[in-house]
Amino acid sequence: MEIMRYSKVAVFSLLIIQCGVAQQLELESELELEYREWTSVLGTKIDAEVISADHTEVILKTRNKKILKLHPGKLSQEDQNFLKEKFPPSPLAEKIIGKRLSVQAADWPVTALFQFELDGKVKLGSLKRDKVIQEKDGLTYKIDGLIAKVFDNDKIHSLLKFASVDPESGTRMTFGPEKSPLSGTILSIVPAFSFNEVYDKKDEEPVLIEKGSVNINTLEKRDGIYYEPGAFTSFSGKVYRLSTNGKKAEEVTLKYGQREGLQRNWYFNGQQQSKGLWKNGKKDGAMWEWHENDQKKSEMIFKRDQLISKKEWDDEGVLIEE
């Protein structure tokens, strides 16, 4: 009996040891799977596990416990795709990284430019007489929720606050210093290109009718408000108007039947004629006009349909009124 008791204890102990070894091997196997080979854009390779990652920084730990911090853009495309699956980027980051945003300030005639580069840097500037004026170089960014923070080294240079994770032309936002931000309207979001160029000459934006837009001539106008025919509620959505030659002559968004956001107009030949900002059916913000020879004709500022300031040029570019 005594021998059997000791035998059972030995077998039980052996089972515990075997289970412990199996668990240890399983744990080591799981830990082993966390390591993978990473390749830089230069072709160098290293075995490491990823600790954390976002659109600005990847933290890796090598087998000898060394911590590496680098921008995801310094890794191969395959590694970047792996990180996107393991650490999905925020919707706003997906929307604006690698893009250039043109934003019209609401209270003065300037178009601000923000270009979010893939390498984590951001370029800021403005359009002045169809030329790009770049601000301080070497700035970086980090996207947090609906805010894009612009850094000058470790200090916050400015903040861009979006109304949604899916910004588009015609939507409002704020930008500038945290204590004195400017409000503005997004004019366009396009793929990033040479920052000193006004537009990407390889891919000029065509004048197209956006899918889902409605011809404004098909709507009914009652007391200054647009409705779908026979409808009791006002119309909201993007609308356009065509010239007799079939080219687009006007494009704007209606909100509760009134003009809202950016309105653009074109001459009969397709040349841009004007663009300006509206709010609650009234001109509110900056407005530009061009002569048919593409010379700027005027710059105006409105506040609730009231003209606040105006500059005007002749068709040769000579200032005639300020």
Domain ranges of the chain: 39-89, 93-191, 214-321
Task: Give the pLDDT score at 17.
Answer: 45
Q: CA nearest 136: which of 121, 120, 149?
A: 121
Q: CA nearest 175: which of 188, 165, 184, 187?
A: 184
Task: Give the pLDDT score at 270.
Answer: 82
Dihedral sign (CA 110, 268, 246, 240): positive
Task: Give the pLDDT score at 218.
Answer: 83
- Report the C-alpha gap between 160 and 114 in whole angstroms: 9
Strands, sheet with 272-279, edge to edge from the N-terminal-most edge strand: 214-215, 237-242, 248-255, 258-266, 272-279, 282-290, 296-303, 306-313, 319-321
Task: Give the pLDDT score at 102.
Answer: 85
Task: Give the pLDDT score at 245.
Answer: 63
Task: Give the pLDDT score at 108.
Answer: 66
b/e per residue, 258-283, with b = 16+ CB within 10 A?
bbbbbbbbbeeeeeebbbbbbbebeb
- Report the C-alpha gap between 191 and 113 in whole angstroms: 13
Task: Give the pLDDT score at 280.
Answer: 92
Task: Give the pLDDT score at 202.
Answer: 46
Tell me the longest C-alpha to C-alpha distance in the chain. Answer: 117
Task: Give the pLDDT score at 6.
Answer: 46
Q: Do domains 39-89 and 214-321 have the same CATH topology?
A: no
Q: Which residues of the chain have pLDDT under 50?
A: 3, 6, 8-9, 11-12, 14-17, 21-22, 24-33, 201-208
CATH architecture label of 39-89: Roll (2.30)
Burial zone of 114 (CB within 10 Å; 0-12 exposed, 13-18 middle, 19+ buried): buried
Q: Give the fold, CATH level 3, of 214-321.
A: Outer Surface Protein A; domain 3 (3.90.930)
Task: Give the pLDDT score at 233.
Answer: 86
Asked if residue 99 lies in contact with residue 189, where contact means CB atoms within 8 angstroms, the answer is yes
Task: Give the pLDDT score at 135.
Answer: 87
